[in-house]
A and B are shown apart, each in its own frame.
Chain A
Amino acid sequence: MTKIADMTENSPEQRKKIYWKDYIKYIPEDDYFFFRSCIRQTFFPGAEQAFLAILKNNLHKNYFDDPRLTTCTGIGYHSDIIPLETLHTMIARHFSIMNESGYSNLVISCVTTFGVMIEVLNTWHEFPETLEKARENLQKTTGRTFELPKAIAHASDIIYLYRDEIAKQSVYKLINKETGKPLKVVDHVGCHYAKIFPHHGIGGAEFPKVLSEMIKTWGGEVVDYPERRHCCGFGFRQYLIKESRGYSLTHAQIKFESMQPFHPDLILTNCPGCNMFMDRWQYVIQETTGKVYSSSGNGIPVLTYEELAALLLGYDPVQIGLFMHQTDVLPLLEKLGIQFNKNEYAKLREESLDLAKIL
């Protein structure tokens, strides 16, 4: 059985003084058991498919996409309708399915899932009686048993790990084709990636490097701005309940206002929720106040790390689902000089946004 101690904050390095900028966590290199995200599948299914395509076609890695997995129930847990014991048992079931499929390296698409899984492992480590209870509950409700994963990584960790290989194979760079200058990119790392358990994030909680190193490696310029570490504003129940949805909008707006003076060409995210919110709230702000945060188009394009990697590797923007964004990414595609079927893209955008002219 894997020692839980290896995977929790109480690993030996916790007591050492850590220069977080030098801190690198262990990331498994192959044989991934892929855990999908409810939000990603709902809003940007092409991003998850792009991730798997890159694993298969570009990095030649083995993965398994098990249809029996369900939601991790993390959104239910953080919006308080999933009791702790239920969460523990649900996570135990996912581990059991992974064991059954013969995998032990869990790769997670969603930052909420990543956070709850590590929280659960940590609780099991701190309070072993809760692990026993989870075993008992899982056995009782499903007849299943389980072992813990050997390694847990977020899908963005994998892209981070292979960022150089991706750069080597890439067709495009994060460089403005017209000016030859690096594109200015702001990163937004999901709160639950490293704020809860800093040892599980690359670079720790304050300045996680998972996205910024991708940006640098792929030729872009990372822009630091004052509200860089501020939450996107999801707030779980705050967003889910219409009455308090202003909470979500307010915090996204705080971020846009703070980054605007730096004129970013792109917002890069690693959390499915953040990506959707930063994409959609720009639309709402524009509709309600007329304010646009970009100098061209209808806002600052917001991409996920899988989408960006795929784009630079030459994948088709339609195939990876960029037309599903509300904030148009076309200005970015033009800056990058991406060659693609503009008619097809424009037609989809036209249908979706009812815009008279896009090209």
Chain B
Amino acid sequence: MSIFRLAAAHWRVNALNELQYRVNLVVQLFQSLIALATGLIGLSLVFRQTDDLAGWSRPELLAVMGVHLLMGGIIQAVVQPNMQRLMGDVQNGLFDYSLVKPVDAQALSSVRELRIWQVVDVLVGAAVLAVAVVQLDARVGVGQALWFVVALVLGALSIYSFWLILTTGVFWIIRIENIVELFQGVYQAGRWPVGIYPPWLRGGLTFLVPVAFAVTVPSEAMTGRLTPQTMALAFGVAVGLMAVARGVWRLGVRRYGGASA
């Protein structure tokens, strides 16, 4: 598939370049550890007062935190930098160059950037998740791990599609530049299972901003809570959001070219 070749070419170049700046690794490591420490302190404060939070035990919530860090790393490494570059390109008129290339412009715009040091977050998240799994007493089988990976991929695709819709739709129509901060604020909600939020907020975190599918559902897969229905829903939402994102993209490009629908 050509998108993988495109991604491989761009990521290789980006990674090789960033690898020259080792200092950034130290900075990233430091920030990841601070985020980890803050998260752990928050978790321990909660469990000073209670033994379970809305049915989630301590190791289970640790797993949620691990997935949250891991997914956050993926978003910051790939999704967000590409969308930010796309916004910049549209503003500077550089998007023209993406359109005259003989490849799908959406694919190209989605794979050009990679922040390799953000992988530290992914690794820290994976480590936290591993610790949580050990504490869960071998309740995790190969099947669960497999479903976890599937759920994680679906979650990442949902978040990507959401970001793309935001970038194309919102940015081209009303030009909001603070959506990065807005998204990061909302993404913090994923640190806890969405089940604890009041229904209106849970709905928003599930269907409006797909944090539930990015973090909670993979965590459910890892902690053996995943029902086939939830998995089917995650699949449906991922596919649906990707289709909507594609549609909004097409519309945005048509608008850009002045071919009013």
Pairing of A with B: no
B residues adjacent to A (C-beta < 8 A): none
